[in-house]
Structure 1
Amino acid sequence: MKICVPSSSKGGLDDLVGQHFGRVPTYTIKDTETNEIRTIENKSEHMGGVGLPPELLSQEGIDVMLCGGLGDKAVQQFEQFGIQVYVGAKGTVEETIMEWEAGKLPKATSENACQTHEHHHQH
């Protein structure tokens, strides 16, 4: 399984979770089968590239996205690509993965997505 966390800087386990998943500079990916950690650059249209983050991350084989919060439309886009989304991520990438592994991050739903997104970003 491949887990992805939006990263606020260069990526990696020690980087902080980026709170706007579409506008972070990098995504940190953990492969739970090999424990490999790698970082990919955000080349989505939000960053001057092509495509939306869910589409790009699906091409990387991502199964799970852990993020602070996001809107309902983004949740639906991730679901279209078969990527499960969990919200409430904060702290470092490593702390977030540990929280998810412990079952402490709620799965994003249309009910909690917009509220969580608005809570973190005051939209």
Structure 2
Amino acid sequence: MNVRFVVPVSDDRGADAQLSQHFGRAPFYAVIDLNEEGRVISQETIANTSEHFGGAGVPPDRILQLKPKALITYGLGSKALRIFQDAGVAVLRTEANTVKEVIKAYNNNELQELTQGCHHARHH
């Protein structure tokens, strides 16, 4: 069964994209689909069009429209974490710097589930 996950990134350089330090204010989100063997079958970068960037809506709503199994991030706020948990989307914490490193960590089961949100923007 294929798996889809989303990663907040600061640029649109595909597998070399740098992870964003802040989930909600990430300029872009990488959307990655892996097959059963953990190989990338599709990858795209979408712009963050939430109200943080002059658009409408909040980042969790935009991500949920993509129907991911997981969000992989450094951290995020308590409200966003709860929204994802309520929707059945796993929120996984990473220390990776690039999308390529996130994919490797995911395939190696090196990611931990995030159970507590941050309260200050500088922490996520």
Question: Which residue number corresponds to residue 99 of structure 1?
Answer: 105
Question: Which residue number corresponds to residue 49 of structure 2?
Answer: 43
CA contact (8 A) 2:75 2:123 kept: no
TM-score by length of 1: 0.84
CA distance in structure 1 between the partners assigned to 2:111 and 2:74 by the alignment: 10
Deviation at 1:27, TM superposition (A): 0.6
RMSD: 2.1
Question: Which residue number corresponds to residue 18 of structure 2?
Answer: 16
Structure with the larger strand share: 2
CA distance in structure 2 between the partners assigned to 1:122 and 1:42 by the alignment: 19
Deviation at 1:11, TM superposition (A): 4.5
Residues 1-123 of structure 1 aligned to structure 2 (within 5 Å): 1-33=3-35, 35-110=41-116, 113-114=117-118, 121-122=122-123
Structure 1 alignment gaps of length 5 or more: none
Structure with the larger helix share: 1
Structure 1's consecutive aligned runs of 4 or more residues displaced over 3 angstroms after TM superposition are: none
CA contact (8 A) 1:66 1:89 kept: no
Deviation at 1:98, TM superposition (A): 1.2
CA distance in structure 1 between the partners assigned to 2:96 and 2:32 by the alignment: 17
TM-score by length of 2: 0.83
Structure 2 alignment gaps of length 5 or more: none
The residue type paired with residue 88 of structure 1 is: T
- Aligned pairs, number: 118
The residue type paired with residue 2 of structure 1 is: R
